[in-house]
Each structure stands twice: as C-alpha cells, then as structure tokens.
Structure 1
Amino acid sequence: MTSTVDARSRTDRFLAGVERVGNKLPEPFTLFLILFGVIALASTGMALAGVTVQMPGSDEVVEVKGLFTAEGMTWLTENLGENFLGFPPLVTVLPILMAVGVAEKSGLLGAAVRYAFGSAPRWALAYAVGFVGVMGSIMSDTAFIVIPPLAAMVFRAAGRHPVAGLLGGFAAAGAGYSTNILVTSLDALFAGITSSVAQILPDPGSPVNPLSNWFFNAVSSIALSLLAGFLIDKVLEPRIRRQGVPTEQVADDGEDPLASASAATTTDERRGLRNALVVALGVAAVMVVAALVPASPWRNEDGAFLPESPLLSSIVFIVFTMFLVPAIVYGRAVGTVRRIEDVPIMFGQALKDMIGFVVLAFVLGQFIALFNWSGVGQWIAVSGASALESIGLTGYGAILGFLVVASLLNLFIISGSALWTLMAAVFVPMFALIGYEPAFVQAAFRVGDSATQIITPLNPYMIVLLAYLRRWEPSAGLGTVMARLLPFTVCFWLVWAAILSVFFFLDLPVGPGNGIFLDS
C-alpha cells in the first residue's frame, strides 16, 4: 500500500511539474512573436559574420540575410501584408472551414454523430464511441465539447457506465485528433504549412496538398477507432467499476446544457440525413465521372492524375462542395436553412469561430517568411542534416526521435498549427536533405501531435471534461483524468508508430503521389 501511495505521490509531483512549466509558456501569438525576434537577431548576427550556406543539389551559395539591416527592414515593410495573406494555410483552411461551418450550423454533423451513437447495439457501443471520437476532428475543437457528454448519455441509456463513455469519447477525440478517413481542415492547415517551408528546398519532392496523407490517415483512423473501442470496453470501463465510481450523478455544479438533450434523432433529422447522403453520393458520382472521362480537364498533360494534376490541385474545391451541398440539403429538410441568405450567415459564423486562428496566422506567416527569406532555415537544415549524417542517424531512428520530440513538445504547445509551424520550419528541410519526402515528415508529426495532448494539464478542454466528471466524482482532479487516459496515450502512440513503421519499411505511399523517400 505504501509503495502505491508513493507512486501516486511521484506521479502527482511530476504532473504538477508539467503544469508549472507549461504555464510559464506564453500564448502561441506571443511565443511566435518572441521567436520572430530571436530569428531577427540571429539572422542579423549571422549576416554581419558573413555566414553562407549551400543546399545539397544546388550550385548556388546563399548568404544569410539579416532583418535588422537596410535590406531586411525594406523587405519587412514591403511584404508585411503579403507575408500574412500569402500564408498558405489561409488559402486552404478558410474555404473548407466555411463549408464545414454550414454542415455544423445546419445540424448535419451533430445529427450524424447522434445517429451513429443511437444506432449502435450495446455490445458495440464502445467501438461506436471510438469511431465517432476519432472521426470527430471533422468538427474541429467542437468534438471535445460535444462527443464526451453525448457518449456518456448513450452509455447510461444502454446500461453501461456513463463515465466510461465520457472519458472514452474525450480520449478518442483527443488522442486520434490528427487523423480521419475524411479530408478535414486540419489536412489543409498542415499541408499549407508544409508547402510553405518546402519552398526553400532545391528538390521539394512531390507537392503537398490536403490529400497527401490520406492513405496513412485512412489506415490510422480505422486502427485507432478499433483500439479506442477496445480500451474503453476492456480497460477503462472495468477499472471505473472496480473503483466504485457511481453510475448516477451525485453532484450538480450548475445547469448542464446537454442534460435535456437526447441522443436519439428525430424523424425530420433522419430524413435530412438520408437526403444529405443521397445528394453526397450523387455529387461524388458526378465528380468521379468528370475525372475519369478520357478528355477530363482534371488530368495532367500525360492523361494521368499523379504526381501532379488539376484534380489534386482541386482538393479544396472538392472538399468544400462535398460538405456544403449535403449540408444545405439537410438544412432544408430540418428547417435550419430556409433561404439562400442563411448560408452566408453560417459562413460568417464559421469564420467568426476561427478568428483566433486568423490572428495567429498573422504572426505565423511573418515567422515562416522571415525564416525562409533570411536563409536561417536553410542553414539550420544543412547543419542539422550534416550532424545526423556524421553520427549515422539517418534511418528510422531519426524518425523515432522526431516522434518523441513532437510528443514531448505537444505536452506544452497544444495548438497543432503552432507546433507544426515551429517543427516544420526545422525538420521538413532537414529530413528532406537526408532523403525524406515532406509529406512523410508531416505524417510522422501527426503521431506526436495527438497522442499526448489528452494527458497534459495545458489542454483547456481537460477543464471542461473535469467539470463533467465531477458530476459523478466530486473529488476527481486532473490527476484522476490523466491516470485514466494514460493507457490511451501509450497504446495510441505505440500502435500509431507501428503503422508508420509499416509504411516506412514497406515503402508505401502515405497519400496519392506522396511516398516516403524523395527518390521513390
């Protein structure tokens, strides 16, 4: 008993330490403003020292340019707006988010989630929660708010432990956040950042677009959905029952907005879902036919689709249409979209929800632009690649090291866009110089970006989850949540890394036209 208490004490001290360190980190906007200043000073010092860099495969010797020089200040004053508006994720993320926003505001996504829960038999309920949770990233951060209480509700209605549904839904939504069978705004966001960084390379590899990790994502999302269901069914729920957690709420900390909600779908909602599905299949069929006809303008000059073609360049349009049209049809069926003017209102609401990202994109765009323009990014890439080669760490060991670094940083930097901007600027060029495709590095990042975010106290949605949990366990704390979610983090990380290993060692493409190695 004493050893158990000591172990818990050490765990609590460690988690408290993580929380203290993480709380000292500035917000992402301030963090990248500081990093911008660091690069500005470093680039100026390197420029004054006459530092040069030559990218492998290029005969051109590049001089590092400093921001605090006449040339640098002129560059900044002339390009401040272009650095912001030219930030690639804005071009891809915002249109997709507008369409997803209509799907959310019309009720389509919420009804689809509730239908998936409500149609699952009792024995398969844990796996339904796992699947819906992992797929929940299509709703962006809304998944953390909507899925856990709904999962608790349907678990209770089926005679299973509601806390298992609550925690399991959160774990699946968080630990599997970076993957999905469908193309989401996150794919567009990551692809935009990767593309902007890869521009400094003499051989940037195959173009990176929102579909570049789709093969890897599809396999990962199915495997992680099944794994989440297994952990909920065989690990989480039995442990909660052994601990004697009540199945009925014993505390009420205020009005629960979902207390009167129902997991069941209405007749109108089911009709709307059927109509939306039929229309979605029809739109998809039209696009498939348009792509497959021999003279399709979506084909490249060779009549194919890979490695580059107008079809792959039209992914944003395709995703936008596949969300928007079914959402409007659903909204018409249930009455949430009564006139065409409702659609731009929903567009505006979706963009309003993303205003924080747009503001952050301003400083992210400046940081990436300075990193590329100054030549500091090229210098770090060449120096880092040379260091890896000098110690012989250019194989899969380097990739595993990258996964570990991403997982640890994810404990402190929860924002996926902020973390990938920081890591992509360094690791995409560095790994490209030792032979890895930018799209593969991006795929590897996804493993570290998600698995650990459900056990860090810096995840703001953990506070929301804790508030729900205390309805059943008033004495529960962050340590309670972390201890119960730790098996998901460990298992997700190991299985996801194993999937990445299979793709690596079998040299499988991670997406259409995107392989593992630059020479593949």
Structure 2
Amino acid sequence: MTATSTAPVTRTDRLLAGVERAGNKLPDPFILFLGLFLLVGLVSTLLQLAGTSVTIPGDDESRAVRGLFTAQGLTWFTTSLGENFIGFPPLQTVLTILLAVTVAERTGFLGAGIRLLLGSAPRWALPYAVGVVGVTSSVMADACMIVVPPLAAMVFKAAGRHPMAGLIGGFAAAGAGYSTSLLVTSLDALFAGITNSVTATLPAAGATVTPVSNYYFNVASSLVLAVLAGFLIDRVIEPRMVRQDVPTEELPEDDDTPATSSDADTAAALRSAQPMEATLTGRERRGLLAAALVTAVLAVLMAVVALVPGSPWRNAEGGFLPESPLLDSVVFIVFALFLAPGLVYGFVSGSLRTSADVPRVMGQGIKDMASFVVLAFMLGQFIALFNWTNVGSVLAVNGARGLEAVGLVGFPAILGFMVLCSLLNLFIVSGSSMWTLVGAVFVPMFALLGFEPGFVQAAFRVGDSATQVITPMNPYVFVLLMMVKRYEPDAGLGTVIARMLPFVVPFWLAWAAVLALFYFTGLDVGPGVGIRIP
C-alpha cells in the first residue's frame, strides 16, 4: 500500500531536499579520504618546491614541508604503508574493547539491563529513564539506535503512555547524545587514538589523551542531556502526539509495501529491530544478578589493587595523575568490566552454552567491524601523511595566527569550532571520519593557542552528535522511519525530522553550556586533562 501526499511543498521541505541532494554527492568515506590523501600529497609537493617551512612555538628548529610526490616522499610511503595502517592507534584500542563489548551485547546482557531499567521505572519517570538509557546506550555502538527506540515504545505502552513518544525520545536520546555516556565506551578509545596520532609531532602536546580523558565532562553532559531529554519527551513530544491523534497501536505489516531504502546495512538493521519482550524472564533476571555480582567483585578488586601503597598502577611519585600505569590500563579495565559480566550472564541465562561459543561471538563483533578496519587503512595513511609532510603544522600555525589577528582566541573560538562540526555532521555522520578530518587541523591549531587536545576533543563531541538525528545521511534515520511507519503508514522523512528537531537545538545549547561551565571554572574534563596546556 502506498500513499500520496497532497500537502504543498514548504520551504523546510525544499531545504531538506537540498541537504539530501548535497549529501548524496559525497563519496564513500574511504574514497573521500583517498581523495584527501592525494590532495595533501599534491599540496605538500607544491609547498616543498616553493621552499615552505614553519616554526612551531616552543620548537627550536623550523620544519620544512616535505612533498609526497618526490623521491623522499615516495620512499617514505612505500616503506611505511603497513606501519601507517597497523600503527593507527584506534585499531589497538577499539578492536580490543570491541571483543568484550560484543560478548556483552550478543549474549543479551546489555539489552536485558536496558529492559530492566526501563521496566522498573515508575510511570512518571519513564521519560527520564529513557533519557538516561539513551545517552548511555552508545556503549552498544550503533546498535543503540536500533535497540533503544522499540524497547522504549513497548515500555511506554505497557505503562499507559503514548508509545510514539518513547520511540521518538529513545532515538533522539541515543542519536543526539551519541558522543557522551555515563560509561567508558569504545568511542572514547577511538577518539583518543585519533587525537594522539595527531599530537604525536607537537613539541608541547599537553596531557596524553586516554579513553577516560573526557570522563568528567561526559558524566556531567550525560546527566544534563538525560534530564533534558526526559523533559522534552514528557512536555513536548508526548502532548504533541496526543494532539495530533497519532495511533498508539502498530498496524498489521503489509508485505507489498515498498522499502524506503535499498541500502543493505539499513535492511539488516531493520531485520534486527524486530519487537522484543519488554519483561525479563527468570533466567534473564538470574543472569543479570550474577553479572552484577561479578562486576561488583571485579570493581572492588581493581580498586584495592590501585589504592594499596606501592601499587604497580601508581606512577613514580605514588599518584595517578597526570600519567600512570593505571591510566595506561584503561583499555584492560574496560575490557574486563564488559567481558566478565557478559560471560557470566551468557552462561547463566543460556545464551552461551559451551566455551566454544565465546570466540564465535567475539568473531561476530570483528566481522561487524570489517568496514571500519578497511576505512582505518585509509585513515591511517591520511593521518601519517598529514604528520610526515608538516602540512598540518603549516595550517595550524597560520590558522592560530589568523584567529589571534581577529581576536578569536578564547571560548568564542571553541564555539565556532563546535558550530562547524555540527554543520559538517549533517554530511559526515561517521564520528571517526569527521574527527580524523577536523582533528588533524584543529587539535594542533588550538594547542598553539594553549588548549589541551583532550579539551578540544570534548568540544568536538558536542558538534559530533546533536545534528545527526536530522540528516538523511544517517542511515538509522530511515530505520526509525520504518519503525514510525508501523504506526503511521503515511509518515515520511519529514515526519521523522520534524519530531527530532525539538531535541537538536536544546541538546546543542545545553551541551555547550556544560562545556562553558568547565571552561570558565577551569574544571578538568577528565583525569589529568584540564582546559589549558600547563
């Protein structure tokens, strides 16, 4: 069954159509960075022929630009191709953490925890529970935008509230708040790896960025956005659904309905988004209890090891900041805190039956990340070329001088950076791709202005998430549309975007306000990571 809309085309419709057309012209991220790699190679060669060099403040010697398409450049590239790829920092951290997170997700541990949290919330608190779960659910990576919305809809309906409010609110909280979480996630490791790969050549790069370098900022942001999401769901979205008389019952599926998108990834996502039971079975509850006990024991053991005098996790001065083996062990800690409870839950609940199931489940996670590994090959080459040629240093120094010349050196410069990232996010929804692109220029630039790379990374998070729920470039927007069509067959992309818009600006402003609080009070955004480089 298809429906034809007779509503007139509005300015908003034309604007969104223009955004979609422009975004569709962007190539695949791999091809995009291949093109950028060749562009940097050409520019660096021309700059070397022009005798360009740059002196970074704090560095005694000037750095000459080195061209890729020269004898020296081609020798560097042919001898370092594999090292550029394997040495790309996110591979080491993301793939390691992914092995554990996959176990926690595929055994049902994370999904059961979400259902327990939402199902146990009182009726009035449901919107705020959805907010908390949504902004924290990025621990499941992109799966959060498939798992959280339908679960929120089911729990809302069971409580006598409008299921569409739960569906929309769950997607908004998970998508618009994707770059923050109450927990340390693989995204933290990914961003940290990219940041460190950029700062490797800076003479004064500030504190080393780790997966917990934005943790204080993330916790504060998560709490603020969770409350805000709950408020918007309760006071804006649900009343509007009632006023518009949006159906509260799913309609029977029509096999003849044409698909909105032919994208294979979207189709797979839709297949995995089938309804789940909102209540937990007895085995699932026993599995969660056992997993919680294991997590508590493991956390206590780690705390004891870290706090005892003479702990091997302490630095030479007996502390933990600014650097220590404890901070260097974050990947191991996150790995253990996901793997152990995931395994216990799996065997107690029955989702894991034999020890042979464990590597099989881990392998599924690596299989799902195959596209990232391929993209990481190109990202690693791009970052390595940017650093080796010194083109990044030239852009950073001249950009910093330009900002100083116009007086844009404080928080206004950070705000401008966040606005730029928000606009780019309409076209480049991959956080790793965009951070690789903008981080290569802005991390060194802001470092020259005295900002810690970890703080710049925190600012990037604001621009990386808030607008991705309204762009047609996000395939999960179409997944949400299919979920909405179960209630409203005539719904279109405009329906989804219109319901997402009430979250975008408030989220951006609230998130920016949290960053401003850290900036003007001088609070650390994470362990050992302040605002300014000492």
Q: TM-score, normalised by structure 1?
A: 0.97
Residues 192-250 of structure 1 show CA distances to partners (whole Å, capped at 9, x for unaligned) of 00000011211010110000000000010111111111110100010111111111223
Counterpart of 1:351 in structure 2 is 366
CA distance in 1, matches of 2:56, 2:7: 53
Counterpart of 1:66 in structure 2 is 67
CA distance in 2, matches of 1:6, 1:331: 51
CA distance in 2, matches of 1:322, 1:7: 54
Whether 2:124 is the aligned partner of 1:123: answer yes
Aligned residues: percent identity? 63
Whether 2:413 is the aligned partner of 1:398: answer yes
Contact 2:191-2:457 at 8 Å conserved across structures: yes
TM-fit CA distance, 1:259: 5.7
CA distance in 2, matches of 1:57, 1:419: 28
Contact 1:253-1:471 at 8 Å conserved across structures: no
Give the partner amino acid of 1:313.
Answer: D
CA distance in 1, matches of 2:384, 2:175: 31
Moved more, 126-135 or 252-261: 252-261
Counterpart of 1:31 in structure 2 is 32
TM-fit CA distance, 1:120: 1.2
Distance 1:165 1:501, change over 3 A: same
Counterpart of 1:208 in structure 2 is 209
Counterpart of 1:183 in structure 2 is 184
User: Aligned to 1:338, which of 349, 353, 377?
Assistant: 353
Counterpart of 2:436 in structure 1 is 421
TM-fit CA distance, 1:470: 1.1
Counterpart of 2:321 in structure 1 is 306
Moved more, 335-344 or 90-99: 335-344
Moved more, 259-268 or 190-199: 259-268
CA distance in 1, matches of 2:153, 2:84: 45
Give the partner amino acid of 2:226.
Answer: S
Give the partner amino acid of 1:175.
Answer: A
Counterpart of 2:78 in structure 1 is 77
TM-fit CA distance, 1:251: 5.2
Counterpart of 1:518 in structure 2 is 533
Residues 73-96 of structure 1 show CA distances to partners (whole Å, capped at 9, x for unaligned) of 000000000000000001111110
Whether 2:447 is the aligned partner of 1:432: answer yes
Give the partner amino acid of 1:95.
Answer: T
Counterpart of 1:382 in structure 2 is 397
Whether 2:317 is the aligned partner of 1:316: answer no
Counterpart of 1:368 in structure 2 is 383
Moved more, 488-497 or 468-477: 468-477
Query: Cα RMSD (Å) of the superposition?
Result: 1.4
Distance 1:8 1:158, change over 3 A: farther
CA distance in 2, matches of 1:151, 1:471: 15
Counterpart of 2:497 in structure 1 is 482
Secondary structure at the counterpart of residue 472 of structure 2: coil
Moved more, 330-339 or 195-204: 330-339
The gaps in structure 1 that reach 5 residues or longer are none
Counterpart of 2:22 in structure 1 is 21
Distance 1:119 1:509, change over 3 A: same
Counterpart of 1:132 in structure 2 is 133
Contact 1:40-1:68 at 8 Å conserved across structures: yes
Counterpart of 2:264 in structure 1 is none
CA distance in 1, matches of 2:272, 2:362: 25
Residues 57-111 of structure 1 show CA distances to partners (whole Å, capped at 9, x for unaligned) of 1111111000000000000000000000000001111110000001011110111
User: Aligned to 1:280, which of 284, 295, 299?
Assistant: 295
Give the partner amino acid of 1:513.
Answer: G
Give the partner amino acid of 2:518.
Answer: F
CA distance in 1, matches of 2:272, 2:28: 29
CA distance in 2, matches of 1:49, 1:501: 42
The gaps in structure 2 that reach 5 residues or longer are 1-5, 256-269
Whether 2:458 is the aligned partner of 1:443: answer yes
Whether 2:447 is the aligned partner of 1:465: answer no
CA distance in 2, matches of 1:260, 1:401: 42
Distance 1:24 1:469, change over 3 A: same
Give the partner amino acid of 1:404.
Answer: V
TM-fit CA distance, 1:256: 7.5
TM-fit CA distance, 1:258: 5.9
Contact 1:251-1:474 at 8 Å conserved across structures: no
Contact 2:146-2:273 at 8 Å conserved across structures: no
Secondary structure at the counterpart of residue 470 of structure 2: coil
Contact 2:452-2:531 at 8 Å conserved across structures: yes
Secondary structure at the counterpart of residue 141 of structure 1: helix
Give the number of equivalent residue pairs: 515
Counterpart of 2:196 in structure 1 is 195
CA distance in 1, matches of 2:273, 2:95: 29
Residues 139-196 of structure 1 show CA distances to partners (whole Å, capped at 9, x for unaligned) of 0000111111111111111111111111111000000000011100000000000000
CA distance in 1, matches of 2:174, 2:113: 16
